[in-house]
Amino acid sequence: MSSPEVVVRPERAEDHEVVRDVHRRAFGDGERVPALVDALRAAPAALTPLSFVATADERVVGHVMLSACRLDALPRLVDVFSLSPLGVLPEFQRQEIGTRLVAHALAGADGLGVPLVFLEGSPLYYGKRGFADATKLGFRPPSLRYPPGAFQVAKLSSYEEWMTGTFVYSDVFWSQDCVGLRGERLAASS
């Protein structure tokens, strides 16, 4: 039996509940990530969020979202994106679906002229997908609760050397308590 064809496309309103389920199953932490996605969709922002799904035989099996954040650079604030969350159904993981979603998201951001995309995640995973340790590149994280190497950035074609400073999440990430690791999540990463 052959693998189903995977297609990446923009998320549609009718995908929202299925996307919630993808994140429930991918993250296994109840409503935390689905609630973040809902809040990001509803929040006013300088940049309209980009949200893509991966489908296999027209079934949504993965999702990625880019949402507006800021870089507090010395000359001025810079509109940037945060890549969060990225989720793939467990039975479809390790099939390059996440890789395709990340590539599609970065291409979408680059096409809009966004210079930087930040995230908090595994350096082993995202390092192979265009991201590098943001701290080593001169950027400051928004929180002290990041495990070493987890604060990452992808520089896109409109990036300029003066664009360095502190990454600032939108209020949604703070109100949902989705910045850095806390308590048990921090202990589990150590």
Q: Tens digits of per-residue pLDDT, 122-150?
A: 889 899 999 999 999 999 988 877 788 88
**For the structural domain made of 6-189, what CATH number should be given?**
3.40.630.30
* Residue pair 118/69 in contact by the 8 Å Cβ criterion: yes
Token pair listed for 45: 């922002």
This prediction has a pTM of 0.88
Q: What are 19-51's pLDDT values in tens digits?
A: 998 988 888 867 888 788 888 887 776 678 899
> Three-state SS across 86-117?
EEECHHHCCCCHHHHHHHHHHHHHHHCCCCEE
- Cα–Cα dist 15/183, whole Å: 33
CA–CA distance, 163 with 135 (Å, rounded to integer): 13
* Helix or strand run (H / E) with residue 116: strand 116-120
pLDDT digits 0-9 by tens, 58-111: 899 999 999 999 999 999 999 999 998 899 999 989 989 999 999 999 999 999
Residue 1 is predicted with a pLDDT of: 46
CB 78 within 8 A of CB 163: yes
User: Which among 152, 139, 142, 153 has a CA at the least distance from the CA of 177?
Assistant: 142
Distance (Å, whole) CA 30 – CA 43: 21
> How far from the centroid of its chain's Cα atoms is residue 105's Cα?
9
Q: Hey, where are the domains in the chain?
A: 6-189
DSSP state of 138: T
